[in-house]
Amino acid sequence: MSLEGLRSSPPRPPAFPPLTGAARWRGRKIGLLGGSFNPAHEGHLHISLHALKRLGLDDIWWLVSPQNPLKSTDGMASLDKRMASARAIIGRHPHLHVTDIEHHLGTRYSIDSIQSLQRLLPHSHFLWLMGADNLQQFPRWRQWTEIMGRMPLAIFDREHYSRNCLTGKVASRYRRGRLNEGALKSIATAKTPAWIFLPLRRHPASATEIREAQPASSPFSVAMNSKE
């Protein structure tokens, strides 16, 4: 299976994981951690390693977004620099993979990326990973209810957000779809809509703080009032 023809202009050489080897991902449980990664940091790695262990995932893909529709371009480093920061954090871990596949798919919104991946890899089991802060703003995402119907979600504890997100719009609307911790290993193959909340030891790393600590010439430096 190939991405050829998905974009009118020739894409740059694809970053891992390439869909030309679709058989490699057949039957695998794959966590998708999307974000700007501006820059990637140890907190992303902390969540990913926790997800691999607790959720019984085979792989996790870091989907480095060309541009998050909900975030400003101010202070946003280039896609290449953000990819490089993500690769530096992951190192040679055999089950964590950095990809700019959304760039090659030509997708901007998560729902479009999800639909494309499920069409291209119909025999893989995808699980969307997000922090509690993102669940709180999830109703702002394009076709968020369609995402809930297409893919299970794993929500990670995040300081100052978890209590509100667990009583918010998404949790209330899909309260019957919330699974308990006994379903951790099976969440990736659960019938949708399904979601699970994972308490975990919080990691202090913050992309905002990392950018603010950079010198003004750094591609990751931003104004003090910028949001992560």
Please tell me what DSSP assigns to residue 22.
G
Specify if 187 maps to a domain. Answer: yes
Strand partners, 64: 35
SS3 155: strand
Specify if 149 maps to a domain. Answer: yes
CA 218 to chain centre: 25
Average pLDDT, integer, range 112-122: 94
Token readout for 100 is 């700019």
Write down the pLDDT at residue 54.
95
Q: How far apart are CA 132 and CA 162, in angstroms?
A: 5
Annotate 48-71 with DSSP letters as a single string.
HHHHHHHTT-SEEEEEE-S--TTS
**Structural domain that includes position 150:** 23-212
Specify if 102 maps to a domain. Answer: yes
Where residue 124 sits, what CATH number does that domain have?
3.40.50.620
SS3 34: strand
Write down the pLDDT at residue 163.
73
Specify if 217 maps to a domain. Answer: no
Count other Cβ atoms within 10 Å, centred on residue 98. Answer: 23
Specify if 15 maps to a domain. Answer: no
Give backbone dihedrals phi and psi of 180, rounded to 5 degrees, phi first.
Answer: -85, 175
Give backbone dihedrals phi and psi of 171, rounded to 5 degrees, phi first.
Answer: -60, -40
Strand partners, 97: 61
Specify if 193 maps to a domain. Answer: yes
Average pLDDT, integer, range 139-158: 95
Q: Which helix (H) or strand (E) holds 133?
A: helix 132-137
Q: Which of 22-26, 64-68, 169-173, 196-200 has the lowest mean pLDDT?
A: 64-68
The answer to whether 156 touches 132, Cβ cutoff 8 Å, is yes
Specify if 129 maps to a domain. Answer: yes
- Domain count for the chain, please give it: 1
Residue 171 has pLDDT above 70, yes or no: yes
Specify if 60 maps to a domain. Answer: yes
Closest alpha carbon to 12 in 127, 89, 106: 106
Count other Cβ atoms within 10 Å, centred on residue 165. Answer: 23
Q: What is the mean pLDDT of the chain?
A: 82
